[in-house]
Structure 1
Amino acid sequence: MTAEEQAQAVFEILSDVYEQSPWTLEQVKADLTQASTDYFYAYEEDDVVGFLALQQLVGEVEITNIAVKTSCQGRGYGRQLMAEIADIDMPIFLEVRASNQAAQALYQKNGFEVLGQRKNYYHAPVEDAVIMRRN
């Protein structure tokens, strides 16, 4: 898959999952070119149905996004994507919408614990973020 195809697939998933994609296609393209980012993909046959994006920071990792197409949710793709980071031996952080109980449950099953909240972190709609970490 070319970089252009990767960016388009990620953007299509974001556009499907969110009312409005939190990233533009140009932002996705730029993120894919960063040396500090890694992307993992979930496939259904030949179609990309989910992705996980990581950013490597000094001594820690941040999950910047994980998403699975709405029509494919509940089929284990989130668990498959989380398995990609099982062997990372440093703290991993993420933020998740306070209302997204399904995602929080997935993260907790994968060793993440709640650290705190960020008020009004998300927009469209405005919502708090739950900060989670896996050591």
Structure 2
Amino acid sequence: MKDEKNEELAAVLFDILADVYPQSPWSQAQLLADMNRAEADYFFAYEDREIVGFLSIQHLVGELEVTNIAVKNAYQGKGLGSQLMSTFIKDEQLPVFLEVRASNRAAQSLYQKFGFKAVAKRKNYYRNPSEDAILMKREGRFAGF
């Protein structure tokens, strides 16, 4: 049952990515495979019962990684990205990492609002178009343990 529900959900999420990006960075099959992994969690933003945004994280040993965050273009600027971030970050005790396009100042500003700091640059990390990624990190509440 979970796989069938996830197939429908993967199609919805792929449509969101296709709306946000000129070319989706993830295929529908990649989204489905990720959703079926025990290490992955997904959070959703709704407007009138329609999923209009999502955030996914991956649990790694001793840290988390934000693997995806996207809100449909028509719903951007309404605080949904902040809602998605606050859904999982408010009580998070582990360090959290993410990558963001160097040109995506709006996303970087959102992440900084939640305590993320730039820690490195990954040259030519993104494709279509090729661009550097800024690696950002938010220390966990119990950093140093």
Query: Which TM-score applies when normalising by structure 1?
Result: 0.97
Equivalent residue number for residue 132 of structure 2: 128
Equivalent residue number for residue 37 of structure 2: 34
Match of residue 113, structure 1, among 89, 103, 117: 117
Supply the distance in 2 between the matched residues of 1:56 and 1:117 (Cα, whole angstroms). 22
For 1:101, the aligned partner's letter is R
Supply the distance in 2 between the matched residues of 1:9 and 1:76 (Cα, whole angstroms). 20
Equivalent residue number for residue 58 of structure 2: 55
Runs of 4+ in 1 over 6 A off after TM superposition: none
Equivalent residue number for residue 71 of structure 2: 68
Shift of 1:87: 1.1
Unaligned runs of 5+ in 1: none
Count of residue correspondences: 135
Shift of 1:133: 0.3
For 1:116, the aligned partner's letter is A
CA-based RMSD of the aligned residues comes to: 1.0
For 2:108, the aligned partner's letter is Q
For 1:88, the aligned partner's letter is E
Match of residue 23, structure 1, among 26, 38, 42: 26
Counterpart secondary structure, 2:24 = coil
Shift of 1:5: 2.2
Supply the distance in 2 between the matched residues of 1:83 and 1:110 (Cα, whole angstroms). 8
Supply the distance in 2 between the matched residues of 1:3 and 1:129 (Cα, whole angstroms). 29
For 2:18, the aligned partner's letter is S
Match of residue 5, structure 1, among 4, 8, 17: 8
Equivalent residue number for residue 80 of structure 2: 77
Shift of 1:4: 2.0
Counterpart secondary structure, 1:84 = helix
Supply the distance in 1 between the matched residues of 2:10 and 2:18 (Cα, whole angstroms). 12
For the pair 1:44 / 2:37, whether they are aligned, the reply is no
Query: Which TM-score applies when normalising by structure 2?
Result: 0.91
